[in-house]
Amino acid sequence: MRKVLLILLALAASLQIAAGGPAVLHLPQDRLEAPVLFGSRIVSVNRPMGKVFAPGQRNPFPVLMRFQLDSAGNMVLWPEGRPKEGFRGHGPKGGKGRDRHIHPVHFPLLTDRTADTLAFDVSGYFSVYPDQVSAIPPKMLQEDSLRASDIASVKETPEYLQITGKYSYASGLEVTAACYLLFLPEKPMPARTVDPEKAGYNAVEHRDRGSRQDQPSQRWDLDRRAHIDFYVDKAFPAEWYPYIKEGIEDWNRAFERIGRGAVLRVRPEPADGSLDRTSPLVNMVRYIDVDEPNAKGDVLCDPRSGEILQADILWWKRAETLLQDWRYVQTGAADPRARLRDCPMDMLGPMIRYSICHETGHALGLCHNMGASFSYPSDSLRSPSFTQRYGTAASVMDYARFNHLATAGDVAAGVGLLPPRVGPYDLYAIACGYAAEEPAPDRFCAYAPAITAAIPPDPSAQPETLGDDLLASSAAGLGNCRALLTLDGLDDHRLGLLRKQYYRYLTLALSNIGGAVRGTPVPWRKQKETLAFVLRGLAAAPSELVDPAAEKRIQDELEGHFLPERIQQTCGEKALKRYLRTLRRLRNRYKTHYPTIY
């Protein structure tokens, strides 16, 4: 009987709601108490807001719930783990963040409670965009006034129920959102927590678990599915498709090594519109037509186990501009092609491939590995054979980007400028998360998570550096900035890029001061060398690149409390006193000879 009912539901895949009529959903009796994931995706919005919300983006925190019947004859969607007694419907008293929006939902039941298929009216609840799954910040909608709403359609399949609504607000905001109720397996995938000392996986958040160490890692269940298919948005230029496909399918190297075969497959979005872009189960590379330089790998997970149920790779329309800007400031001094205004496809394509490959790593559950670039010796990044084989970092999940250590002579000799496709660490990390047996790491498999501090305490764990010598990396970067100043074609945009990058390289070097590389303090001689390097960089900044605000921020870091406290912790009180004496002498010296510095 259930199979017949599910087939009937699937045949009635999309139902348009008659004007003024109720929106009705149907649930087979044996789906009561089944776990569902309640979330939503923006279908269209007339005023997108950068990276915050735009068409194609979804609510980042879907809610785990179950369908139940109450004694009053209602269908109830009840939040998983919530007590049934004393729950008032607005989250726990004093609740913070998204928890305060989570509440049970009551729908009028339209059939007898013993019927094989239960029909219930969702019109009342979805006449307002639900705050607990809104893909637009709930506070923003609460501060606005809903002017009109319309439930455009409902969709019923064996895998999910979906309600699409249109909402208009007094401020002029208009949004169409698809709210889904995705049925989860009664028995979740066995959870696995990948050892964070070995490989970096994003953890799925679950309020019923304690520390983040106990959170299950985000992973696809490859025992339940043979392939992961991605559709490429037809809004992308056709010539991009091969590079997008290559960036995703390159990860098959890692799955083939653990005996899983070619797991990832890429297909173009059908031109006839037959693909349901709003489905919570369709994996897509989505083009977001919003003026924002960004890309993102986004996943939908079963919060009980970490199983990835669906993934998107989001590409904002100015992401390629960001890639070209990076390529210019990092390699333009060595490679004349990086200075071109109109980047040819044979140069832009590999950069797109790199970015898509990075975001695919997130779509597979991996987080950033900021220690991957430090795994390579700095002098190896000027070797043609090494860089052609290994790229600029041991992982595409680093923020190492392009080879700014290479000189023009290196490029002529064949030194590679691009990051890896899938690096040695990436092969190892996929085995850690998806193989039955724990793999053995090689020399390039160090992992370091992203650190949010302005000056990371570990010099080996920060973005935009290359190789295992932080000063060599920053010195090469400063040299590139100075060299690019002497070349033709420098406009205000590029001058701003160079100015920002110049001070960025000086700030990156500060991690040596009071820092510890994977638990080992940076030698005091290296710290003093770093201090002198930074002050020389400030003093010798080309006049075109001088930025008083950025200069002041570095001075404040040097003379503030943060770095001295770190030195005392890692090197002791004696070293701290030496630092303060050295800083005082240098401050006085630079005040005399470089009045713009102090």
**pLDDT of amino acid 21:** 67
Confirm if 59 and 40 have CB atoms less than 8 A apart: yes
| Overall domain count for the chain | 2
The total number of residues shown for the chain amounts to: 598
Whether 45 is covered by a domain: the verdict is: yes
**Within a domain: residue 443?**
no
Exposed e or buried b per residue across 242-266, where buried means at least 16 C-beta atoms within 10 angstroms of its C-beta? ebbbbbbbbbbebbeebebeebbbb
Residue that terminates a domain, selected from 159, 183, 207: 183
pLDDT of 214 = 67
Helices 470-485 and 524-539 cross at an angle (nearest 10°) of 10
Residue 336, domain member (yes or no):
no
Domain assignment present for 542: yes
**CA–CA separation, 387 vs 310, rounded Å?**
34
Predicted local confidence at residue 209, as pLDDT: 41
What is the spatial distance between Cα 413 and Cα 391, in angstroms, rounded to a whole number? 15
- The pLDDT value recorded for residue 598 is 26
What was the pLDDT predicted at 452? 80
Would you say residue 350 lies in a domain? no
Cα-based angle 44, 45, 47 (whole degrees, multiple of 5) = 155
Helix (H, G, I), strand (E, B) or coil at 230: strand
Q: What is the mean pLDDT of each run of 10 residues along the chain (598 residues)?
A: 42 45 91 95 95 93 94 90 45 46 90 93 95 92 92 95 96 96 94 92 66 77 95 97 98 97 97 94 96 95 95 96 96 95 93 97 97 94 95 94 95 94 96 92 89 88 93 96 90 96 96 92 89 90 95 89 87 81 68 39
Query: Does residue 210 form part of some domain?
Result: no
Write down which residue in 148, 183, 218 finishes a domain. Answer: 183
* End position of a domain, from candidates 113, 148, 183: 183
pTM value surpassing 0.75: yes
Assess contact for 164 and 152: CB atoms under 8 A: yes
Angle at CA of residue 67, ends 61 and 71, nearest 5°: 130
- Is the CB of residue 530 less than 8 Å from the CB of residue 459? no
Distance of CA 144 to the CA centre of its chain: 29
Helices vs. strands in the chain: H and E counts, helices first: 15, 17
Residue 259 in any domain: the answer is: no
Nearest Cα residue to 369 out of 252, 526, 194: 194
CA distance 12 to 187: 28
Confidence (pLDDT) at 12: 41
Strands (E), 260-301: 264-268, 283-288, 295-301
Cα torsion through 401, 404, 409, 413, rounded to 10: -20
In a domain, 402, yes or no: no
Q: Cα 44 to chain center, whole Å?
A: 22
Q: What is the pLDDT of residue 591?
A: 56
Which residues span the domain enclosing 168? 2-183
DSSP state of 264: E
Task: Name the DSSP class of 439.
Answer: P
